[in-house]
Chain A
Amino acid sequence: GDSVTQMEGPVTLSEEAFLTINCTYTATGYPSLFWYVQYPGEGLQLLLKATKADDKGSNKGFEATYRKETTSFHLEKGSVQVSDSAVYFCALPRDGDDKIIFGKGTRLHILP
């Protein structure tokens, strides 16, 4: 079945460091791909998405490119801030319906 695998955390970086959080997927067809973010004490927020191969989603300095050949959707940011500390989830909609399948999440800590 459809699934998402993302790198385990926690990931700890210093402010202004470069960030990569890896995500690979298994799916029937070519679904949209999402990154959600969960800040402490808050619900999930859609961070960015891509709807087809080679699309790049971007928001708040974060980017992810839909790579069909490697079935990947890695999240990157060139210079992280303390305020980026959160849990990040890679996700995709299950084929045929609206249910979203989430990865286990990657906790990110940014040190000042």
Chain B
Amino acid sequence: GAGVSQSPRYKVAKRGQDVALRCDPISGHVSLFWYQQALGQGPEFLTYFQNEAQLDKSGLPSDRFFAERPEGSVSTLKIQRTQQEDSAVYLCASSPTRGYGYTFGSGTRLTVV
């Protein structure tokens, strides 16, 4: 596609509910990143894929967070048993190769009530 597409744009979840956030990167982009942006803060790194391989997940805040990219294109970020502190905008970005620079999606705003 022309850009990085994320869905849904908005998600309201009850505390304890599981959620899944989807990212469609630009076709052919090898690298895919997930970032978390809390209100009034800059984005914080969560995890990184190169093709289907998850090379770095050091930013995932707890074992309730899980990301996958099984075929090296679409990626899903899953949050289990959501908590209020998970409320944030989740940004996905892709890059054609290492060091080239990112294109960001518009993000998914998650609100846990």
Contact = CB atoms under 8 A, between A and B. Distances in A.
Interface residues of B, number: 24
B1 interface: no
Contacts of B4: 43
A97 B43 contact: no
Q: How would you classify the secondary structure of chain A's contact residues: helix, strand, loop or mixed? A: strand
Contacts of A43: 4, 6, 91, 104-107
Interface stretch (A57-65, A73-81, A100-108): A100-108
Contacts, number: 49
B42 A103 contact: yes
A44 interface: yes
Given A98-B48, A99-B56, A105 B42 contact: yes
Contacts of B106: 41-43
Which interface residue of A98, A99, A100, A103 has the most chain B CB atoms within 10 A? A98
A25 interface: no
Contacts of A83: none
A102 B36 CA distance: 11
B41 interface: yes
B31 interface: yes
A105 B48 contact: no
A104 B45 contact: no
Contacts of A4: 42
B40 to A, nearest CB: 7
A83 B102 CA distance: 23
Of the listed residues B33, B45, B93, B99, the one surrounded by the most CB atoms of chain A closer than 10 A to its CB is: B45
Contacts of A99: 33, 45, 48, 56, 59
B101 interface: yes
A98 B98 contact: yes
A97 B48 CA distance: 10
Contacts of B31: 98
A89 B93 CA distance: 16
A44 to B, nearest CB: 4
B95 interface: yes
Interface in A1-53: 4, 41-46, 49
